[in-house]
Amino acid sequence: MTRLPIRKTYKLFLGGAFPRSESGRTYEAQGQNVARASRKDVRDAVRAARSAQPKWAGMTAYNRGQVLYRVAEMMEARSADLAALASGRDEVERAIDRMLWYAGWADKLAQVIGTANPVAGPYFNFTVPEPTGVVAIVASDEPPLDALVARLAPVLVGGNATVVLASERRPLPAIELAEALATSDVPGGVVNILTGLREALAPVLAAHMDVNAIDVGGADGVAPELERLAAENVKRVVRSSGDDQSPWEIAAFLELKTVWHPIGR
Amino acid sequence: MAHAPALPRGFELPLEPRLPRIGSVDEVALEERAATLAKRSIKKDSKLWALELAVRMMDLTTLEGADTPGKVAALCSKAVRPDPADRTVPSVAAVCVYPNLVSAARERLGESGVKVASVATAFPSGQSPLEVKLADVRAAVELGADEVDMVIDRGAFLSGRYAKVYDEIVRVKEACGRAHLKVILETGELGTYDNVRRASLLAMAAGADFIKTSTGKVQPAATLPVTLVMLEAIRDVHEETGRQVGMKPAGGIRTAKQAIQYLVVLHETLGADWLTPDLFRFGASSLLNDVLMQIRKQKTGAYQSPDYFTLD
């Protein structure tokens, strides 16, 4: 019996679901029709991220690490699909290893980045890292999967929620990654992935008053304009390069809270 | 009416013959119409106009056991100047509080033009003797309330003792003196749209200046279809008698988008005459911040964050 193949419709990943763009529009990329997000989709994504963030940040560090480990598991299970859409097996393996590497940092961050500070007074003075909040990521085009994971993983480990603007030319690996995220216990809304025209969407994200930090690594020529818009609410601006991998990439999206605790007798 | 003949088993005649027959409300068509009107797209300048109107129509409300004079004072400051960063945003219509906090609000609002509304009559249940309710109303008015929000006795209404409900409204209206009377039907407890329409007509016949959906303490509170039923009752009274009665949906209206939907339904049902704070109010506590955020979004082009707006 012949069978009608089910073709995949590439949609957004928003609040844990896969809706079409609110505008109904699409554009063509990598030979597929891909959802073309509108400003309202950006607004909805930020709202979803904002409401999901406290729960994600409230999970124990160990648990967050476990969930990110599971993301790596799910990516492994989908590695063939990911490889077909990205630039091959090598890139996918790099991305999975990277996710795993960052997952391990979840319960080590506070020890490494936090400090106990000597002060001239009867206080126990210590500093602990806390998530920045909602982080916007403007992803690089190349390599489409690994560059995205390289930005996404450090943002997530620290307990932030994020709105990702996927590569405009090569958005499919990002949506495929969303399938892995959706089946990996990352609470809905913690990661939101939008596809669409970078020129139209990135400024909306950069100007959004409810976004606390923006990674302009993939913004190319428009980065200065995004930074200018981000200044309105003093967003943390991170100019990443796709291949960096270190705990300091995580620290870039953390706020350090210092506590002065009186020492009694 | 006050002497409606008593019927067996405690039932009384519903209404005098000259009160309009209520007919029956077509539930499906009503909800469909409300849903259709909610889809209207209001953009740009019209949106800004609607948002500012919504601010001017707002009864900024706090009805918590934890209310303090300090909290009410903060709320009053916000009522007078909702957005400290933007002087063009108008003051709200009124501040709505419990009777004990009327004087605190009165003092803070001074000559700002913002009115003080007080709930009364054993709010929110209304399950107290009439004398207690009247004393409640008199106290609120003496303390300086410009408007009184009373609740109807749903227990009496639902058991068919319409005359008792009617009489209470008449007595409360007398006790109000010059204060405006808003009658809360608590539609979430009335059960059917027919009952909402009946209660609306009853309240208007008894002298209500405004009819109001809910206390905000019962779910569901204000909904678009319920508001439409009440607006149509107001329209029918206006057509028959020429009297203009106001409307106040309250409870559950949290977003600017919802507020605009209510304004669309209002305009489509009663026309431009009712697009004034004298005849339409929103009872809300958290709505104002969302409207302010939308106004600033319209003016700056950037989506806003609650971080930059006061909590109360």
Q: Scanning the structure block, which residue is given the tokens 């029918």?
A: B236
Identify which of B302, B306, B307 has the shortest CB distance to residue A232: B302
Put simply, whether A45 touches B (Cβ < 8 Å) is: no
Q: What is the pLDDT of residue B21?
A: 60
Query: Minimal CA–CA distance to A36: which of A217, A207, A201?
Result: A201
- Asked if residue A11 is part of any domain, the answer here is no
CB–CB contact A210 B301 (8 Å): no
- Residues B60-72: what's their mean pLDDT? 96
Encode pLDDT of B26-48 as tens digits: 999 999 999 999 999 999 999 99
* ipTM over 0.95 threshold: no
CB atoms within 10 A of CB B136: 22
Catalytic residue chosen out of the listed positions B59, B83, B136, B149:
B149
Q: Decide if B192 contacts B184 (C-beta within 8 A).
A: no
Chain A positions in Cβ-Cβ contact with residue B303 (cut-off 8 Å): 42-43, 46, 204, 207-210
**Top-tier CATH class for B25-299:** alpha beta
Write b or e for each residue in B2-28: b if 16 or more Cβ atoms lie within 10 A of its Cβ, otherwise e. eebeeeeeeebeebeeebbebeebeee
> Which tens digits make up the pLDDT trace of A53-93?
999 999 999 999 999 999 999 999 999 999 999 999 999 99
Domain residue spans of chain B: 25-299
CB B280 within 8 A of CB B247: yes
List chain B residues with CB under 8 Å of A233: 305, 308
Residue B167 near residue B203, CB atoms below 8 Å: no
Q: How far is CA A79 from CA A2, A139, B210, in A?
A: 28, 20, 65
Peptide bond connecting B220 to the previous residue in cis, omega within 30 degrees of 0: yes
Active site residue B149: yes
**Closest-CA residue of chain B to A39:** B303
Distance CA B77, CA B312 (A): 10
C-alpha A165, offset from chain centre? 9
Q: How many helices and strands (H and E) does chain B possess?
A: 11, 8
User: Do A42 and B307 lie within an 8 Å CB cutoff?
Assistant: no
Interchain contact, A43 vs B305, CB within 8 Å: no
- Which residues of chain A are within 8 Å of residue B304 when distances are taken between CB atoms? 209-210
| Domain extent for A47 | 26-262
**pLDDT, position B2:** 46
Q: What is the pLDDT of residues A35-49, one digit of tens each?
A: 999 999 999 999 999
Domain total in chain A: 1
Assess if residue A2 is contained within a domain: no
Best residue of A23, A134, A209 to probe chain B, by most B CBs closer than 10 Å:
A209
Q: Classify residue B67 by burial, with Cβ atoms within 10 Å: 0-12, 13-18, 19+.
A: middle
Asked whether residue A7 is domain-assigned, the answer is no
How many beta-carbon contacts under 8 Å exist across A and B?
25
Question: Is A90 part of a structural domain of the chain?
Answer: yes
B68-77's contacts with Cβ under 8 Å and 24+ in sequence apart are: B69/B101, B69/B104, B71/B312, B72/B97, B72/B101, B72/B104, B72/B105, B72/B108, B73/B104, B73/B105, B73/B108, B74/B310, B74/B312, B75/B105, B75/B312, B76/B105, B76/B108, B76/B109, B76/B114, B77/B108
What's the CATH number where A225 sits?
Answer: 3.40.605.10
CB of A43 less than 8 A from some CB of B: yes
Residue A265: pLDDT band by 50, 70, 90 thresholds?
A: low
